[in-house]
Amino acid sequence: MTDAATGPDQITGATPDNALRTADRAEAGPVLSADGTPLKTSLNRALRREKMRALLLVSPLLIFILVTFIAPIADMLFRSVENRIVADTLPQTVAGLDQSSLEVPGEPTFEDLYFDLFLAAEAKKHTQLGTRLNYESAGVSSLFRSSGRRLDDIGEETQDALEDLDESWGEAGFWYGLMNNADDSDDALLKSERARVKALTAEPTGGDIAFAPSAEIAQILPRTTRAYTAWAVYIALIDDDVVAEEEPWEAVYAALGVDLERDATLEALATYAGPGADQLRAAAEADLPSVDYRAAFVEMDDGWGETEVWNTLRTYSSEYTIGYFLNAIDLQLTPNGIEKRPDRESIYLMLFQRTLVMSLIITISCIILGYPIAWLLANLPMRSANLLMILVLLPFWTSLLVRTSAWKILLQQQGVINDLLVWIGIVSNTGRLVLINNQTGTIIAMTHILLPFMILPLYSVMKTIPVTYVRAAKSLGATDWTAFWRVYFPNSVPGIGAGSILVFILSIGYYITPELVGGTSGVFISNRIAYHISSSLNWGLAAALGTILLAAVLMLYYTYDRMVGIDNVKLGG
C-alpha cells in the first residue's frame, strides 16, 4: 500500500520530475536521450514546446479579449484625463502664460496667441479648441470661431506696407531664397514645426518638404523663420503645393514686422550679407505699421479682455486634467482650486443616485415576478414546462426597440392599460394614470425586458433541488411555508444571486428603454453618456462618467463577494 504521507516529491516511477532528479544526481556524467542530448535539456525543450503550443491555442481568444474589451476600456480611461488639445493648438501661448496670475496677460502673450491661432485656424483646429474650452466656460467657442475669421486683417497691414516698399516682398521666390538654406539649416526648428503641424492635422505628415530653414536667418529673424517654416511644412505636406512657388501667409509678414522692431535684429542686419540683405535693411529703416496685438484681439471680440477666458486657458493648459472627473461629480476645476458647481448645473450625482436606486427596484421587481415563474418551470410536468419556457424565451426573439415601442403604446394615458382601468372602473376618464415619460414607465418596461435574465438562472438552480428535501421536511412535521422557507428557499439563493447580478449590471447600463419611456425623470446616467458621445461630442466627460460607472459596478461586485461570496453564485449544477 502507498503511504498516505507520501508527498508529490516522494512518488516513485517514471515521471518528468524524477527523470530530472536522476539527471541531476548522476555521478557518472549526465543522462543522455536517444539523440545524445542531455536528458534534462531535452525535457526542458519539450516542456517549452508544450507551453508554446498551449499559448498558440489560446492566443486567438486573448487577442479577441484584448481588442474588444481591454483596449476600449484603456482608451476610455485615457480619454477621461487626456487634454492635449490646448497645448498642441496654442503651444507658444501656453508656454508664455503666467500660471500664478489671475489677470489678463500682457502684449507678448497676445503676440504668441496670434501666431498660434493663425496656424490653428488654417488647420481648422481652432473651432475644436473652442468647443473643448466651451465645456468649461460658456461662450469660448464663439470667441475662437469669430476670431479665426479675422486674423488675416492683422497681418495684411504689414504685408501691404512691405510690398509698397519693395515689390520683391510679394514674390514667392524671393521669400524662398531668403528663408531657405539647405547647407546651413536649423533642423531642430524644422522638426519642431513638423511635429506641431502633425499635432494640428489628421493628414499624414511625410514626404519631402523641399525646404530647410536657414540657421543664420533663424538667429536674425526668429519669429519670421518659425512662422515661415510652419507655413512651408503645411503647404508641402497638407496642401501638397511647392513651397518655392507659393506666397506666404499674412502671419509671416506680421512676424517679420515683429522681428524688425527688435534691437537685436537691427544690430544683426548691419553685418548681414546674405540673400535679401538690402530689402531687410530697407524694411528695418522704413516706418512699418506697429501692431498692438492685445488691442487687435480685444477689438475682434471683447471676450479676449476678460479674465475668465484666460483663467480657463490657464486651468486647462496641461496635457492631462482631472477636470472631466470633477465635472462628472458636479465639481469644477478653477484657478482657485476645486469648487462645487452651481445647483442649476449639478445633475450627475443625482443621475448616479437615480440609476442605482431604480436598478435596485428593477432587480427586486424581477425577483418578485421571476421567482414564482421559475418555480413553476422547475416543478411542472415536462410538456407544460417546455411550453412555459417558450413563452419566457419569446422576448429574446423580438427586437428590443419593438418591445419598448409596444410599452409606449400600452402605458400612455390614452393607451391600452388606462383604457382597461377606465372600463373596469378603477380610475375615472379624467383621472387616467401617468405611466409614461417618468420613472414608473422606465421600471415597468425594463422589468419586462430584463425578467428572463432573472428567470433562467433561478430555473437552472431550482431544477437541481431534489424534491425529496421538501417531502422530508413535511414528513418531519413542517408546514408548507416552513418547508419552503427553511429548506427550499435557501437552496435557491444561488440562483437569486446570479439573476440579481445579471439584472442589476444590465439595468445600470441600459439607455435605449429609459430614453424612449423615461422622459426627463426616468433617464439613467447611461443616457447622459450616450448624449455626450453622440451629440455634444464631449468624449472626455463621457469617458469619465463611464469610468465612474465601471468603478461603481466593480465596487458593488466586490461588496457582494465579501458579503455573500461569489462562489455561492451559480447558474445550475
In the chain, how many domains are there? Answer: 3
Tens-place pLDDT, residues 70-81: 888 888 889 899
Judgement on whether residues 249 and 378 belong to the same structural domain of the protein? no
Q: How deeply is 360 buried, as exposed, middle or buried, from its count of CB atoms within 10 A (0-12, 13-18, 19+)?
A: middle
Q: How deeply is 374 buried, as exposed, middle or buried, from its count of CB atoms within 10 A (0-12, 13-18, 19+)?
A: buried
Residue 571 clears pLDDT 60, i.e. is over it:
no
What's residue 105's pLDDT? 92
Judgement on whether residues 270 and 352 belong to the same structural domain of the protein? no
- Per DSSP, 319 falls in state S
Mean pLDDT value across the chain: 87
| Assigned domain for 516 exists | yes
What's residue 286's pLDDT? 87
Answer whether 532's CB lies under 8 Å from 545's CB.
yes
Judgement on whether residues 361 and 225 belong to the same structural domain of the protein? no
| Assigned domain for 302 exists | no
Judgement on whether residues 356 and 244 belong to the same structural domain of the protein? no
Judgement on whether residues 389 and 513 belong to the same structural domain of the protein? yes
Tens-place pLDDT, residues 185-226: 888 998 998 889 888 887 665 567 889 999 999 999 999 999
In 3-state terms, what secondary structure has residue 333?
strand
Residue 2 clears pLDDT 70, i.e. is over it:
no
The amino acid that residue 549 corresponds to is L
| Assigned domain for 279 exists | yes
Nearby residues of 338 by Cβ (< 8 Å), 6 or more positions away: 326, 331, 332
**Domain stop point among 285, 300, 326:** 285
Supply the range of the domain harboring residue 35.
Answer: 8-79
Q: Give percent above pLDDT 70 in the chain.
A: 91
Tens-place pLDDT, residues 368-395: 999 999 999 998 888 888 888 888 888 8
Judgement on whether residues 248 and 355 belong to the same structural domain of the protein? no
| Assigned domain for 118 exists | no
User: Which of the two residues, 34 and 200, has the higher pLDDT score?
Assistant: 200
Mean per-residue pLDDT for 16-20?
59
- Per DSSP, 249 falls in state P
Judgement on whether residues 254 and 175 belong to the same structural domain of the protein? yes
Judgement on whether residues 536 and 412 belong to the same structural domain of the protein? yes
Mean per-residue pLDDT for 100-107?
87
**Domain stop point among 27, 44, 79:** 79
pTM above 0.85, yes or no: no
Judgement on whether residues 539 and 397 belong to the same structural domain of the protein? yes
| Assigned domain for 1 exists | no
Residue 1 clears pLDDT 60, i.e. is over it:
no
Residue 4 clears pLDDT 50, i.e. is over it:
no
Residue 485 clears pLDDT 70, i.e. is over it:
yes
Give the side-chain half-sphere CA count within 13 A for 573.
5
Judgement on whether residues 252 and 376 belong to the same structural domain of the protein? no
Which residue in the block uniquely carries the three cell numbers 452651481? 342
| Assigned domain for 120 exists | no
Judgement on whether residues 267 and 358 belong to the same structural domain of the protein? no
- d(C-alpha 15, C-alpha 214), whole Å: 75
Judgement on whether residues 203 and 58 belong to the same structural domain of the protein? no
| Assigned domain for 379 exists | yes
**Domain stop point among 79, 98, 121:** 79
What's residue 573's pLDDT? 47
Residue 564 clears pLDDT 70, i.e. is over it:
no
| Assigned domain for 229 exists | yes
